[in-house]
Structure 1
Amino acid sequence: MAKQERAARTREALVRAAAEVFAEQGFVTASIAVISRRAGVSAGGLHFHFGSKTALAQAVEDQAARALRGVTVGGVGASAGGSALQVLVDSTHALMGLLADDVVVRAGFGLCADASWSGGVDLRRQWRLWVEEVMAEAAREGSLAEGLSPRDAARGVVAATVGLEVLGAHEPEWVAPHTLTRFWTLMLPRLAAVGVLGGLMPEGSAGSV
């Protein structure tokens, strides 16, 4: 068991080191040697766990995708217990928190926009599809403002949140909770039906962030 635990810790250290280097340098410039030194693992140890830089990038993307599913499927959103719009607000707060605090998630999103990398995971597309589903649910439950298209609402939210993600990669202020709270304070009066707006919390519901 101790050997398995050491192997798991080594693998995690390599994934995190790779994420840091990918986030700083991009995929094509990132060096296996730099990643192994950053992780404190020998080159042989790295190749024991990952056969190539491509395998490392795939591991980063996979871990980031699991984290994203945690805030969209069965995660903070599902436990919010409020309207679909509150689920969306809570989940965006959770996502921005991950982008601020977890370099693996940050690097995973960065890789999907890296022209030198062609992985099988597109985190921004996964986020877009989920936001579209939530907006469709908001329309079904009557939470959207009268005359507002769920498609248009989803596009606006996706464009804004992906923009915050991109800017936050270099300026953490963009993914800070108060920035997102101000965004939702501006957006919710345009998105929400009159009877729903008063019950929505732009700062996120208790326990969700």
Structure 2
Amino acid sequence: MMVKQARAAVTRQALISAAAEVFGTDGYAMATLPAISSRAGVSSGALHFHFPNKEALASAVESAAAESALALTEESARAAKGGRLQALVAAVCRLMDAVADDAVVRAGFRLGADPSRKSEAKLHDWWYEWVRNALVQARRNGELAEDVSAEDAAVVVVAATLGLETLGATDRYWQSAERVSQLWSFALPRLSPAE
């Protein structure tokens, strides 16, 4: 029984990874279940055993992406030594690395914005809330310039990071460390107190 459960877990993960790759390159509307099962190296029957339809598979990819994104942002926040603003910088850097390098995270963001489906996971909404909360805490800690609204700053940071993520879908340079560094070189002097 344990061997079957382990094999089922491996198959499920292979399907999620393959689906992320296909959704990430083809988009939701153009992705097909035969292409996903073929990429995963499993039969169509095995795919349907785990996921009854394409939407269920897309939801599983989004959920896996959200788990990964939450884990890496929280880890960045715990590891940051310079306060909440520094934690935000670290989290953005880690998230953009994940978008560039992790097909599941990349597909999760793409699926959340895909107009051909209605997303339940709302990865973009989660990201906005995470950034806003980090900036509200930075405000409480005196880490934001007096004339900077945490709400306004959150809109700018989220729009910039999601813009880099979207542009990076066709040109990976937009997701590079250099582009993220340019973002922070421009934004941090505006966000931080003068001293």
Alignment gaps of 5+ in structure 2: none
Residue of structure 1 in register with 2:72 after alignment: 71
* Whole-angstrom distance in 2 between the partners of 1:182 and 1:176: 10
Deviating 4+ runs (over 3 angstroms)? none
* Whole-angstrom distance in 2 between the partners of 1:10 and 1:178: 37
Residue of structure 2 in register with 1:59 after alignment: 60
* Whole-angstrom distance in 2 between the partners of 1:109 and 1:15: 14
Residue of structure 2 in register with 1:206 after alignment: none
Residue of structure 1 in register with 2:24 after alignment: 23
Q: CA deviation at 1:66?
A: 0.3
Please give the residue correspondences for 1:29-40 in structure 2 after superposition, counting only pairs within 5 Å.
Answer: 29-40=30-41
Deviations 1:41-74 (A, max 9, x none): 01111111111111111100100010111133x3
Equivalent AA in structure 1 for residue 4 of structure 2: K
Residue 148 (str. 1) matches residue 144 (str. 2):
no
Equivalent AA in structure 2 for residue 168 of structure 1: G
Residue of structure 2 in register with 1:111 after alignment: 111
Alignment gaps of 5+ in structure 1: 196-209
Residue of structure 1 in register with 2:178 after alignment: 178
Q: CA deviation at 1:2?
A: 2.9
Deviations 1:18-46 (A, max 9, x none): 11111122212211111111111011111
Residue of structure 2 in register with 1:83 after alignment: 83
* Whole-angstrom distance in 2 between the partners of 1:147 and 1:17: 47
Residue of structure 2 in register with 1:169 after alignment: 169
Cα RMSD after superposing both structures: 1.2
Equivalent AA in structure 2 for residue 61 of structure 1: E
Residue of structure 2 in register with 1:202 after alignment: none
Residue 133 (str. 1) matches residue 129 (str. 2):
no
- Work out the number of aligned pairs and report it: 194
Equivalent AA in structure 2 for residue 71 of structure 1: L
Deviations 1:75-125 (A, max 9, x none): 221221321110000000110011011111111101111111112111111
The structure carrying a bigger helix percent of its residues is 2
The TM-score, its normalising length taken from structure 2, stands at 0.95
* Whole-angstrom distance in 2 between the partners of 1:20 and 1:103: 6
For 1:127, what is the secondary structure of its paired residue? helix
* Whole-angstrom distance in 2 between the partners of 1:133 and 1:27: 31
For 1:27, what is the secondary structure of its paired residue? helix
For 2:146, what is the secondary structure of its paired residue? coil
